[in-house]
Chains A and B, each alone.
Chain A
Amino acid sequence: MQTRIKELNTSFMVPILLGIAWMGIMTLIWIRRGEFPSIQSFAIVAFFFAPQFFWAFKKALDKSKSIPLKDELIRMIDIYASAYTFKISIWVWFAIYFFRAEFPDPGKMVFFGILSSFLIFGLSRFYLRTAGPPHANQN
């Protein structure tokens, strides 16, 4: 029983730590600027923390219900999504190189490439979680 309580406490530590980190960043902004952070600052920092917080909380909740975080299907979906991202990213970077004159500075060019890869991974993962991994029709 004690071990179980200890496990639950450990799994809920991540969202708690993320919350503390968020408050820490806001306090740092407050100290450095000398004024209380604006609502926009809170929103921007929360926007970057929200997905991590959501997934950490969901993982902790699943763990408390003894639901495995990743089973063989989820692992396969991750592998396929990564492979799709890699393959499509090659073409995206090729297109970026081809249209490099269109980008005002190299920083924006690299940011566009990274953002594209991020979006491709998200879309691939969403598609695979809806349609299933392609090997299901191998017969």
Chain B
Amino acid sequence: MQTRIKELRARDGLTQQQLADKVHVRRETIVFLEKGKYNPSLNLAYKISQVFELSIEEVFQLSSK
């Protein structure tokens, strides 16, 4: 799973902690998501997409590997 979270965070000027607070998770979860070490639940993916006002597909992409 590839994500654009880091790029979108920079676009909106959000820190990892601020994003974590908005979606009610711990900062470590955002770190893991950005590194591609964790696939979020549909619920969390939806919440993150809502923060960036984009669709889930625009934030998360399945890698071809």
Distance of A127 from chain B, by nearest CB (Å): 12
Render B14-52 as a binary contact track against A, CB cut-off 8 A, 1 for contact: 000000110011111100100111111101100000000
A74 at the interface (CB under 8 A from B): yes
Q: Are A68 and B24 in contact (CB under 8 A)?
A: yes
- List 11 A-B residue pairs with CB atoms under 8 Å apart, sorted by A's residue number: A67-B20, A71-B25, A71-B26, A72-B25, A72-B29, A73-B32, A131-B37, A136-B36, A139-B39, A139-B62, A139-B63
Q: Are B44 and A135 in contact (CB under 8 A)?
A: no
Q: Are B26 and A67 in contact (CB under 8 A)?
A: yes
Main secondary structure of the interface of B (DSSP, over half): loop
Pick from A73, A136, A139: contact of B28, CB under 8 Å: A73
Distance of A137 from chain B, by nearest CB (Å): 9
Complex CA–CA separation, A68 to B27 (angstroms):
10
B11 at the interface (CB under 8 A from A): no
B56 at the interface (CB under 8 A from A): no
Complex CA–CA separation, A82 to B1 (angstroms):
25
Contacts A72-B44, A132-B32: A138 and B39 contacting too (C-beta < 8 A)?
yes
Residues on A with beta carbons closer than 8 Å to the beta carbon of B63: 139
Distance of B35 from chain A, by nearest CB (Å): 8
Render A63-85 as a binary contact track against B, CB cut-off 8 A, 1 for contact: 00011100111100000000000
Q: Are B39 and A135 in contact (CB under 8 A)?
A: yes
Complex CA–CA separation, A67 to B38 (angstroms):
19
Complex CA–CA separation, A73 to B62 (angstroms):
19
